Amino acid sequence: MLQKNTRKRLSQTGQSLIRLHTLGAAAGDVTGSLNLLELFQSDKVIRVLLDVGLNQENEGLNRPNRLPKGMKADEIDAVIISHAHIDHSGWLPALVKQGFTGPVYTHEATRDLLQFMLVDSGHLQEIAADRINQRLEREARRQDQSDDQDHVERKGDKRASRRRPVQEPKLVEPLYTEADAHACLPQINGVKYETWCTVADGLRFKLTEAGHILGAAVVTLELGKAGRKRSIVFSGNIGRPNRPFLNDLKPVLEADYLICEATYGNRRHEQRDRLTQLQNVINAAYARAQVKAGKQGYGSIIIPAFAVERTQAVVFDLSRLMEQGRIPKLAVFVDSPMANHATDVHRKHPELLNAACRKAMEAARDPFTTARHLEVTSVNQSQRLDQPCNEPIIIVSSSGMAAGGRVVQHLKNRLPGRNNTVVFVGYQAVGTLGRQLTDPTHKADAVKIFGELVPVNATIEYLPDYSGHADYEEILRWLKLFQRRPKQTFLVHGEQDAVEQLKKHIEGKLGWSVVLPQNRQCFELD
Alpha-carbon span 55 to 71, nearest angstrom: 20
* Angle value at C-alpha 87, between 84 and 93, nearest 5 degrees: 75
What HEC string does 16-62 produce?
A: EEEEEEEEECCCCCCCCCEEEEEEEECCEEEEEEEEECCCCCCHHHH
Query: What Å distances lie between residue 198 and 195, 204, 205, 284, 370, CA to CA?
Result: 10, 4, 7, 54, 43
* Angle value at C-alpha 218, between 124 and 117, nearest 5 degrees: 15
Question: Could you tell me whether strands 452-455 and 514-515 are parallel, antiparallel, or unpaired per DSSP bridges?
Answer: unpaired
**Which of 372, 368, 369 shows the shortest CA–CA distance to 392?**
372
Q: Where are the beta strands (DSSP E) in 192-249?
A: 197-200, 203-209, 217-223, 230-234
pTM for this prediction: 0.90
Q: Are 62 and 29 in contact, with CB atoms under 8 Å apart?
A: no
Q: What is the largest CA-CA distance in the chain?
A: 89
As a whole number of Å, the end-to-end CA separation of the chain is 17
Alpha-carbon span 510 to 133, nearest angstrom: 52
Q: Which residues contact 66 (CB under 8 A, 6 or more apart)?
A: 23, 24, 34, 91
Quick one: pLDDT at residue 294?
81
Number of Cβ within 10 Å of residue 461's Cβ equals 21
The CA radius of gyration of the chain, in Å to the nearest whole number, is: 26
Q: Are 209 and 81 in contact, with CB atoms under 8 Å apart?
A: no
Quick one: pLDDT at residue 168?
77
Alpha-carbon span 111 to 83, nearest angstrom: 9
Alpha-carbon span 336 to 379, nearest angstrom: 10
DSSP 277-303: HHHHHHHHHHHHHTS--GGGBB-EEEE
Q: For 225-260, what is each residue's pLDDT tens digit?
A: 877 899 999 999 999 998 889 999 999 999 999 999
**Which of 182, 214, 211 shows the shortest CA–CA distance to 107?**
214
Domains of the chain with CATH codes? 4-120+174-268+469-517 (3.60.15.10), 274-466 (3.40.50.10890)
Quick one: pLDDT at residue 458?
96
Q: What is the DSSP letter of 88?
A: H
**Which residues, given as ranges, of the chain have pLDDT below 70?**
1-14, 147-167
Q: Is 294 left (phi over 0), alpha (psi -120 to 50) or beta?
A: left
Q: Are 99 and 72 in contact, with CB atoms under 8 Å apart?
A: yes
Helix then strand count (H, E) for the chain reads 14, 22
